[in-house]
A and B are shown apart, each in its own frame.
Chain A
């Protein structure tokens, strides 16, 4: 039973990676955005290599994680393949986990490549071996969290990826700017530190700072706990919202024309 469920989740996730990794919104918002954001942040400024590394990893992890998960459901609603999935013996949980897993793996893969490049080419140092594990654990948590955030935005029952991506960007950029990516928490006024609590990226950045520089603002356990709290909260909200809006994908967006026709026929 559990094995069947895991097989279905893996098949869904594999399908999501194969089909959506090359889609325009995923490439633009997942790869190009963090690349150009980093360029505009770094060029012309004297920023230490460690800070650049922390910023790039935090941004890449967050942007790549929020690239696939928002687009899967709108595209599948438009292409009607969602109806195939819903009429198959697949539960809502399996559909959602399949999307989260695909998005998380994509984020982990890209972020890991960049991390390895920085370690090998730019010789970014770590305090100890254990901090490397802590860093990857933090990146893993952020990948799950970002995927959940993207999926949450996709709960809006639309079949247009642009609708979802607009909302996603409206959420993503404020979360990035209020976090400690560009301005370290240590140098922030107290009020802003308080606001930075609203962004999960704050805790990843702080965790990365612990791993690379050792001068983190919060305790590393607190960073991890906060990321986990975010993940649990987003999981619950996602399940509730998607359970409510999933039938609407077929009835309200998928067959708007049909409903109009039905109403006409009823008259």
Chain B
């Protein structure tokens, strides 16, 4: 494992992962297309993207499960691992989307196997395993076969396995996908705790709220490329000009009133009975809405302006990317 000196520890901007020009082809399909990014030590970075965007392939390239192509380069704490990836695998703790622990092994057997593979002594594996199993509330399942565990428990075991060799970098591939709210909460708290301990964390997720609340930085991937690399706040700031306006109409409105109102806003109702529309000039649109409703005897109530969520930014970016490419293709 790479030793980090005390001086390096004090530097907040120490680059833990540096990835340059990652490419992965599956036949004619370019799954990852010239991806480059950096992650500083102690950061939580989220990779967001639609299904098939290349997130998992990027992780597999980073962890040397797939061989690097062309002039791709990966540096871990400044060391080029491109030519000897096996040596550097100890730096990673990986939590996959779908449990990949040996299903016919018990929780304990999985931990003993994993610890042994990482060269940890038997006594030390036992000590660390007990600590982790207690931390993740798995101690009573220690002799249960992995295949008998629920998805949430399996994911906790995967986190234990990933942490057993105390790696400086954690890679979590959609760790909360399909978990119940209690397991999600436990998982998120543990991830934040690990950040406090100084771990560098790379997380792929579909959950925008998770990314917004947990990540210091977000990489948005689409079609194998990174299309945005910013903090969640910066991303939202960039799209702040678009607001979501919600309001209710008291009573029943006539067809004529509806026609007049629909000239200003799109009258789509959400499940809570709110009419929702997006606006690039909230003040102007609200004043317009009030004016029209007053003139036409429509009673507006419960008006709200919603801040742009990361989800909306994400959808916006993916759509922009698609529109841009279509534009290029049409030219």
**B89 near A: Cβ within 8 Å?**
yes
Known A-B contacts A7-B119, A81-B102; the reply to A87 vs B113 at CB < 8 A is no
Per-position contact with A for B44-80: 1 when CB-CB < 8 Å, else 0?
Answer: 0000001111101100100111110000000000000
Known A-B contacts A79-B100, A262-B54; the reply to A250 vs B117 at CB < 8 A is no
- Residues of chain A from 1 to 43 with CB closer than 8 A to chain B in the complex: 4, 7-8, 11, 15, 18-19
**A86 near B: Cβ within 8 Å?**
yes
Contact residues in B for A86 (Cβ distance below 8 Å): 65
Stretch at the interface among A88-96, A121-129, A164-172: A88-96
Contact residues in B for A19 (Cβ distance below 8 Å): 102, 104-105
- The answer to whether A88 and B51 have CB atoms under 8 Å apart is no
Q: Is the interface of A mostly helix, strand, loop or mixed?
A: helix
- The answer to whether A8 and B223 have CB atoms under 8 Å apart is no
User: How far in angstroms is the closest Cβ of chain A from B151?
Assistant: 13
- The answer to whether A251 and B26 have CB atoms under 8 Å apart is yes
* Selected contact of A262 from candidates B52, B90, B92, B98, CB within 8 Å: B52
- The answer to whether A15 and B105 have CB atoms under 8 Å apart is yes
User: How far in angstroms is the closest Cβ of chain A from B177?
Assistant: 14
**A259 near B: Cβ within 8 Å?**
yes
- Chain A contact residues (Cβ within 8 angstroms of B): what range? 20 to 34
Known A-B contacts A84-B101, A87-B65, A88-B89; the reply to A259 vs B29 at CB < 8 A is yes
**B226 near A: Cβ within 8 Å?**
no
Per-position contact with A for B78-110: 1 when CB-CB < 8 Å, else 0?
Answer: 000000001101101010101111111100010
Chain B residue nearest to A267 (CB atoms) is B223
- Residues of chain A from 56 to 101 with CB closer than 8 A to chain B in the complex: 79-84, 86-91
Q: How far is the CA of A203 from the CA of B56 in the complex (A)?
A: 48
Interface size on B, residues (CB 8 A): 42
Chain A residue nearest to B54 (CB atoms) is A262
Residue with the highest number of chain B CB atoms closer than 10 Å, among A15, A19, A91:
A15
- The answer to whether B114 and A80 have CB atoms under 8 Å apart is no
Q: How far is the CA of A57 from the CA of B31 in the complex (A)?
A: 51
Contact residues in A for B56 (Cβ distance below 8 Å): 255, 258
* Selected contact of B96 from candidates A83, A251, A265, CB within 8 Å: A83
Residue with the highest number of chain B CB atoms closer than 10 Å, among A18, A81, A263:
A81
**B143 near A: Cβ within 8 Å?**
no
Contact residues in A for B273 (Cβ distance below 8 Å): none
Known A-B contacts A15-B105, A251-B66; the reply to A261 vs B96 at CB < 8 A is no
* Selected contact of B117 from candidates A81, A83, A88, CB within 8 Å: A88
Contact residues in B for A89 (Cβ distance below 8 Å): 86-87, 89-90, 117-119
**B116 near A: Cβ within 8 Å?**
yes
Q: How far is the CA of A255 from the CA of B53 in the complex (A)?
A: 13
Q: How far is the CA of A80 from the CA of B101 in the complex (A)?
A: 8
**A247 near B: Cβ within 8 Å?**
yes
Contact residues in A for B96 (Cβ distance below 8 Å): 80, 83-84
Q: How far is the CA of A203 from the CA of B113 in the complex (A)?
A: 38
Q: How far is the CA of A236 from the CA of B31 in the complex (A)?
A: 31
- Residues of chain B from 218 to 266 with CB closer than 8 A to chain A in the complex: 222-224
User: How far in angstroms is the closest Cβ of chain B from A265?
Assistant: 4
Known A-B contacts A87-B89, A91-B86; the reply to A11 vs B66 at CB < 8 A is no
- The answer to whether B66 and A80 have CB atoms under 8 Å apart is no
User: How far in angstroms is the closest Cβ of chain B from A12?
Assistant: 8
Contact residues in B for A11 (Cβ distance below 8 Å): 113, 116-117
Per-position contact with A for B105-130: 1 when CB-CB < 8 Å, else 0?
Answer: 10001000110111100000000000
- The answer to whether B100 and A265 have CB atoms under 8 Å apart is no
Q: How far is the CA of A231 from the CA of B117 in the complex (A)?
A: 27
Q: How far is the CA of A79 from the CA of B154 in the complex (A)?
A: 13
**A163 near B: Cβ within 8 Å?**
no
- The answer to whether B98 and A250 have CB atoms under 8 Å apart is no
Known A-B contacts A250-B60, A251-B26, A259-B29; the reply to A266 vs B223 at CB < 8 A is yes
Chain A residue nearest to B51 (CB atoms) is A261
Contact residues in B for A79 (Cβ distance below 8 Å): 100, 102-103
Contact residues in B for A91 (Cβ distance below 8 Å): 86
- The answer to whether A265 and B113 have CB atoms under 8 Å apart is no
- The answer to whether B53 and A87 have CB atoms under 8 Å apart is no
Chain B residue nearest to A20 (CB atoms) is B104
Contact residues in B for A83 (Cβ distance below 8 Å): 60, 65, 96, 100
**A264 near B: Cβ within 8 Å?**
yes
Chain B residue nearest to A264 (CB atoms) is B52
- The answer to whether A90 and B86 have CB atoms under 8 Å apart is yes
User: How far in angstroms is the closest Cβ of chain B from A247?
Assistant: 5
Per-position contact with A for B195-229: 1 when CB-CB < 8 Å, else 0?
Answer: 00000000000000000000000000011100000
User: How far in angstroms is the closest Cβ of chain B from A27?
Assistant: 15
- The answer to whether A80 and B100 have CB atoms under 8 Å apart is yes
Per-position contact with B for A152-185: 1 when CB-CB < 8 Å, else 0?
Answer: 0000000000000000000000000000000000
The contact sample of 28 A-B pairs, CB cut-off 8 A, is: A8-B116, A15-B113, A18-B104, A19-B105, A80-B96, A80-B98, A81-B101, A83-B65, A84-B96, A84-B114, A86-B65, A87-B65, A87-B89, A87-B92, A87-B94, A89-B90, A89-B118, A89-B119, A247-B66, A251-B57, A255-B56, A258-B56, A259-B26, A262-B29, A262-B54, A265-B50, A265-B53, A266-B223
Which residues on B are within 8 Å of A, measured CB to CB?
Answer: 26, 29, 31, 50-54, 56-57, 60, 63-67, 86-87, 89-90, 92, 94, 96, 98-105, 109, 113-114, 116-119, 161, 222-224
* The 3 residue pairs across chains A and B that have the minimum distance between CB atoms: A261-B52, A262-B52, A80-B100
